[in-house]
Structure 1
Amino acid sequence: MDPSLANTTLRPPVLDGTNYSLWKVKIRFHIKSIDERAWQRVLSGWSPPRRIDEDGDSLIKSESNWTTDEVQISNYNSKALNAIFSSVDTNMFRLITNCVSAKDAWDILQRHCEGSESVRRTRLRIVTSKFEMMRMEEFENILEYDRRLRKIANEAFSRGIQSWRSHLQ
């Protein structure tokens, strides 16, 4: 093994409840580095495969009866869920301990750390106001100003810049 790679262990960031916006960006790419399809399970969810019995009722299949595809999709969910479980502190883990779906765990952490949709919109408006009010100070050099500007841009991105304009209307 190349010695320069010895310290590049895939170690997820740890969410402690105060660093959600940074954690969200880092864990997304951590899960994607495990497997892109694991990240797809976070986005689209997973539930145990079901079968229809002779009475027409939908029942959860026994794992021994899962198809190869069902096992593979479950494995992607397990990889993503393990990455999330491994990247939260004890208090955050208590919120998601009973989750079997990576999407469910993700959604619970998002609601807990970011709040409701209206709270997220308000926070995004605050970031927008910070940007609109930003001016270069007399004592600042361009690098310091750039650092402050990037901090606001990163905050906006982590809060959903993709839908920034729709949230402000």
Structure 2
Amino acid sequence: MYDSQSTTKPPFFNGENYSFWKNKMRLFIKSSDYLVWDVIEDGPYIPLKQDNDGKMVLKRRTEMSEEERKKIQVNDKALHMLFCAFGPDIYSKVSSIESAKEVWDTLETTYEGTNDVKETKIGILNLSYENFKMEFDETVSKMFDRFSTIVNGLKGYGEVIPEDKLVRKLLYSLP
């Protein structure tokens, strides 16, 4: 059983039930600061300048404006939120990464797999959805829990099924 979650602390991740944690963490971050979520999705702000040869190079800290420093700080805020959610085992795997986007992407690859693995998992979940029926000795409550697990799994991989289609599928699954 899961305990209730604080609205001020990020959901804890210990390496188990990644899709559950990912959805809760995404909402926690977005509700705290949408700019932080932008950094996780798009990557950190990199302050660049043109050198004497016309090449783009990284600005030194002393050359940055206050606005640029604030933009850089959003990545640090995102890293802090992520790192506060990890136990020692997860933290040790990602603590040397300096981009929140890269930490998020590393977790996705580690716990969801590569794109090929994700496609396979989506295929299995879609097959489970298509073949879904209420089992002989199953209660409506248990059936709905099983259905929700499949639908939420698909949603976690970006496969969203319209509400009216879900309702029809659930009704047709009853004996």
Deviation at 1:35, TM superposition (A): 0.5
CA-based RMSD of the aligned residues comes to 2.0
The within-5 A match list for 1:7-156 is 8-156=6-154
Deviation at 1:118, TM superposition (A): 0.4
AA at the equivalent of 1:125: G
> CA contact under 8 A between 1:95 and 1:108: conserved in structure 2?
no
Q: SS state of the match for residue 49, structure 2?
A: strand
Deviation at 1:133, TM superposition (A): 2.3
> CA contact under 8 A between 1:20 and 1:113: conserved in structure 2?
yes
Q: Tell me how far apart the structure 1 counterparts of residues 11 and 106 of structure 2 sit (CA, whole Å).
A: 18
Q: Tell me how far apart the structure 1 counterparts of residues 20 and 141 of structure 2 sit (CA, whole Å).
A: 22
Relative contact order higher in (CA < 8 Å, ≥ 6 apart) = 1
> CA contact under 8 A between 2:10 and 2:25: conserved in structure 1?
yes
Q: Tell me how far apart the structure 1 counterparts of residues 17 and 62 of structure 2 sit (CA, whole Å).
A: 40
Q: SS state of the match for residue 74, structure 1?
A: helix
Q: Tell me how far apart the structure 1 counterparts of residues 126 and 62 of structure 2 sit (CA, whole Å).
A: 52
Q: Tell me how far apart the structure 1 counterparts of residues 65 and 160 of structure 2 sit (CA, whole Å).
A: 37
AA at the equivalent of 1:105: V
Q: Tell me how far apart the structure 2 counterparts of residues 47 and 69 of structure 1 sit (CA, whole Å).
A: 11
Deviation at 1:141, TM superposition (A): 2.7
Q: SS state of the match for residue 46, structure 2?
A: coil
AA at the equivalent of 1:160: G
Q: Tell me how far apart the structure 1 counterparts of residues 89 and 106 of structure 2 sit (CA, whole Å).
A: 13
Quick one: structure 1 residues 157 and 9, their matched pair in 2 at CA, closer, same or farther if it must change by over 3 Å?
closer
Deviation at 1:159, TM superposition (A): 2.0
Q: SS state of the match for residue 137, structure 1?
A: coil
Deviation at 1:51, TM superposition (A): 1.8
Q: Tell me how far apart the structure 1 counterparts of residues 42 and 97 of structure 2 sit (CA, whole Å).
A: 15
Q: Tell me how far apart the structure 1 counterparts of residues 142 and 26 of structure 2 sit (CA, whole Å).
A: 29
Q: Tell me how far apart the structure 2 counterparts of residues 43 and 162 of structure 1 sit (CA, whole Å).
A: 19
Give the ranges of 4+ consecutive aligned residues of structure 1 lying more than 6 Å apart after TM superposition: none
* CA offsets 1:39-62 (integer angstroms, 9 cap, x no match): 000111014312222233433212
Q: SS state of the match for residue 134, structure 2?
A: coil
Identical residues among aligned pairs (%): 30
Instruction: Say how many residue pairs are matched.
Output: 157
> CA contact under 8 A between 1:34 and 1:79: conserved in structure 2?
no
Deviation at 1:104, TM superposition (A): 1.0
AA at the equivalent of 1:21: S
